[in-house]
Structure 1
Amino acid sequence: MFKFAKPRALPSLFHGLAVSLVLGVSAAGAWAQERVVFGTPGALSDNSLAVKIAIDKGFYKEAGIDAEIVNFKGGAPSIQALVGGGIQYAIAAPEHVIRLKTRGVDAAVAFALQGTHTYALLVPEASPVKSFADLKGKRVGITSAGSLTENLIRLEAHENGLAVGSDIEVLGAGVGAAQKAALDTGRIDAGMFGNLDAIRLSGQGYRIVYDWRTQEIPGLALLALDSYVKENPKIAQAVAEATLKAQKLVIEDRATTVAALKEIYPDLSDEIAGKVAEGLSRSLVASGRFSEASYARLQKDLAVIDPDLTTVDFATANPGTYLN
């Protein structure tokens, strides 16, 4: 005789199908995550804290972005990776957009991170140098040749009627501890330090001779190729919106900002972390878009340093498509 399957087996069958469907939906959700690589000029730092927060808080993930960080040895290598398609976003100085367009490479600011420069020029407390003009005949430390630090020194030298090379000698001295070592050993007479190091050293045997951190000018951004943004508008919008959400948190939530800073810089004291957080609330761009006036200043400054650069209008360099 033929035997029929027991009725109780049917619910088990349907249960199995239901579980498979749920698992399938979950897997599909995981597959939907778009991998996006961000390149840094060394590491995530205080002025790119929004990217770290967006990763840590899951803002990118919620927007369907699988964010990955790749650290390069300087801004130039990260820009090369951007142009070569190895990364989708470079955390870099906005001036690279103008330099790339001069070379025929279409790039743009995808998100404005910082609306000031991040550097200050420091000397030992006992130094006879009291102003930038006093640097005539002195050696000044920059991070590396062709860097933003060199451009800033060249620009200010021009403003003071000094010539780099004949009046002022610039030497690549690295960043942070390496720059300080060069200053302490007398290899350089003045050194360029990023915001956090400037805060740490100021008043601790060193003083600021010239401070670029007070100038409203495009200082740091997420840069992307036009072709990538146009081919992937949904990804570009997701990145912009998630980064904006994190940027506002960095500006408004002091506790979150201090905690994130101390993760990046484990030896940072509460006092210094608090000062850095306070500074970021003023220097970061709350809207994610640079102002047209600050961009005009950037173009003017670059024309002084390199008059052969292409003039790029504000809307082309800073489309801000997904932040309106």
Structure 2
Amino acid sequence: MMLRALAALAALVLSVSQVSAQDLDKVTIAGWSKPISEITNILAEPDKGFFKAHGIELGYVPGTGGGSAITNMLSGAADVAFTDPASLYQALDQGEDLVAIYNIYPQNVFNVVAPVGRGIETAADLKGKTIGVYSLNSGTRQNLLFLLHQVGLTEQDVTIQVTGLLNFGPVIQGQVDATAATDTGLYIGRLNGLGEVNVINVADSLNVPTDVFVVTRAYYEANKPILRRFLQAYRDSAQWMIDNPQEAAKIAVTRSINGRDEAVNLGIIELRNLSAQSETTRTKGLGHFDVDVLQDGADAFLAQGLISSALDMRRVVVTDLIPE
């Protein structure tokens, strides 16, 4: 009798697991990067199952910047773009009907870095210089353009050279005078012998978020229940990485393409955890927006000629899907 009961229970568990696997809703993220250690909370899905727990089968399409993330989403290769506000502003300016549904990193982590002795201390000093960027459709280039326009310069006043993701080799070797990067890129560069540098932080001029989740308005309207579960799962994963950075650093060794050194992973993850939090998120919870900040960014991009039309970010930002 006991054996029959155990067999029946086993069959029930198997049946439930098969049904749940079949019932998962697929949501694919178009990333701005390859699977690197700073997004370990996403890469840890096979180990932690945050998304599966909310009925989501997670997919990930790598990219070469925020612009490529939006392009991949619009092409149908993904459902949700992991992108930067500058790329969002430009897509909206080009007539795309998009909505921002979650504030991934409220703090702006973009910068321009130049070794001391290159004569670069301010954005105005970039005139006539060669500057590296991750890619031509990355946030590094867009934020560099913002800094240039702010001091009356344009892209024609500098030479922009693609140097690749988190790559400080060219600036160390003198192939470029400075490089547009992020806080994690600077961290890795310093570990690789970058030396003493001057850092121009974009946040000192405009502290818009680094990245947000963006979808088309049509997808948002048609898939609110799925997106709500997706965001709950993402927030769970982000909170886990904030609470357990050492565990995340260990998982990154096997799940990321650049995470062979656990100690380096930990430094990167701790930086990214800081950028995921702000005064707004500490009050309202992870993922919440300060819409006025995004509006200030759109207005600044318009004033500097980086976009050609006024944007109403209160129409673009939606908060009804963010977990409370």
TM-score normalized with structure 1 length: 0.82
Contact 1:141 1:173 in 2 (8 A): yes
Contact 2:80 2:214 in 1 (8 A): yes
Query: Sequence identity of aligned pairs in percent?
Result: 18
Please, which moves more after superposition, 109-118 or 17-26?
17-26
Matched residue type, 1:312: D
Contact 2:166 2:188 in 1 (8 A): no
Contact 1:252 1:281 in 2 (8 A): no
1:229 and 2:228 equivalent? no
1:209 and 2:199 equivalent? yes
Matched residue type, 1:249: W
Matched residue type, 1:172: V
Equivalent position of 1:4 in the other structure? none
SS in 2 for 1:217: coil
Contact 1:237 1:322 in 2 (8 A): yes
Shift of residue 318 of structure 1? 1.8
Matched residue type, 1:196: T
Equivalent position of 2:163 in the other structure? 173
Equivalent position to 2:132, from 133, 138, 141: 141
Pairing 1:1-324 to 2, within 5 Å after superposition: 23-54=14-45, 56-165=47-156, 167-177=157-167, 180-202=168-190, 204-212=194-202, 216-263=207-254, 264=256, 265-268=258-261, 270=263, 272-285=264-277, 286=281, 287-303=286-302, 304-314=304-314, 316-323=315-322, 324=324
Contact 2:50 2:237 in 1 (8 A): yes
Matched residue type, 1:266: G
Shift of residue 302 of structure 1? 2.0
Q: How many equivalent pairs are there?
A: 309
Contact 1:140 1:169 in 2 (8 A): yes
CA RMSD of aligned residues (A): 3.1
Matched residue type, 2:259: P
Q: Unpaired runs of 5+ in structure 1? A: 1-10
Matched residue type, 2:133: I
SS in 1 for 2:51: helix
Q: Unpaired runs of 5+ in structure 2? A: none
Matched residue type, 2:162: G
Shift of residue 38 of structure 1? 1.4
Please, which moves more after superposition, 63-72 or 253-262?
253-262
Shift of residue 191 of structure 1? 1.0
SS in 1 for 2:209: strand
Contact 1:40 1:70 in 2 (8 A): yes
State how far apart, in whole Å, the 2-side matches of 1:292 and 1:213 are.
16
